[in-house]
Amino acid sequence: MIFIMYHQINELLFKMILWEIEQVASSATVSTEKFSLHLNRISRYFDMLSSSFDIMKEGMEREQYLKFRNTLTPASGFQSAQYRKIEFASTELINLIDFRFRATIDRNTPFEHAYEHLYWQVAGKDYKTGKKSMLLSNFDKRYLEEFITFMKDYNTTNLWTKFKQLPIEDQQNNELVKAMRHYDYTVNING
């Protein structure tokens, strides 16, 4: 119960994060103050996610966890659709493409092809045959269409693109640069 409920708590926080990102993405013009305001809220939620992860380490007994974990297979937090949406809404698609295929993908590449080359696709494929695991094929079956629509929606309104649309002097604003770096660190290093 702890394991599942903690995933549910994380999904609630992911929803609050997506709500903050949407407010920046849907604003035609966004001031630096407003950008920093939402970014700091997003980072605070991610700080909660990383600081509370001890609930997983200390909140369950290892024996109990090992007894039930396989019964949930092939389900995994990996199949968090909101987590993937946070990635799509935070940066440009090319930055989420598996590095080995980046040179072959650009803004004219069909979204379906880009999707098949996202960095996390490799985690669910047999490296010899390329065959998708049940975990990944179930995930695709459930969310592929929704993800393609979401990728299109945030293609030019994601946080990174919105940041680059700010006046140069604003892009060098210390508070904003600090907030961007903190977000990057919280998700990619601390997360």
Question: Which residues are near ligand HEM by CB under 6 A?
Answer: 6-7, 10, 56, 76-78, 80, 83, 120, 123
Q: Please say which residue, 7 or 132, places its beta carbon nearer to ligand HEM.
A: 7
Q: Coil, strand or helix: which one is 30?
A: coil
What's CA 159's distance to the chain center, in Å? 12
Which of 102, 82, 100, 83 lies closest to 92, judged by CA?
102
Q: Please say which residue, 30 or 89, places its beta carbon nearer to ligand HEM.
A: 89
Q: Coil, strand or helix: which one is 118?
A: strand
| Residue 11 beta carbon to ligand HEM: minimum distance, rounded to whole angstroms | 6
| Residue 153 beta carbon to ligand HEM: minimum distance, rounded to whole angstroms | 21
Q: Please say which residue, 52 or 109, places its beta carbon nearer to ligand HEM.
A: 52
The backbone torsions φ and ψ at residue 166, rounded to the nearest 5 degrees and listed phi first, read -70, 155
Q: Please say which residue, 48 or 148, places its beta carbon nearer to ligand HEM.
A: 48
Which of 72, 87, 81 lies closest to 10, judged by CA?
81
| Residue 45 beta carbon to ligand HEM: minimum distance, rounded to whole angstroms | 13
| Residue 88 beta carbon to ligand HEM: minimum distance, rounded to whole angstroms | 13
Q: Please say which residue, 67 or 164, places its beta carbon nearer to ligand HEM.
A: 67
Q: Please say which residue, 84 or 182, places its beta carbon nearer to ligand HEM.
A: 84
Per-position b or e across 20-35, b if 16+ CB within 10 A of its CB: bbeebbeeeebebeeb
Say if residues 97 and 119 touch (Cβ distance below 8 Å).
yes
Which of 10, 154, 42 lies closest to 2, judged by CA?
10
Report how far residue 51's alpha carbon sits from residue 9's, in angstroms, rounded to the nearest whole number.
13
Does 74 sit behind a cis peptide bond, omega within 30 degrees of 0 on the bond before it?
A: yes
Q: What residue is closest to ligand HEM based on CB? A: 77
| Residue 4 beta carbon to ligand HEM: minimum distance, rounded to whole angstroms | 9
| Residue 58 beta carbon to ligand HEM: minimum distance, rounded to whole angstroms | 11
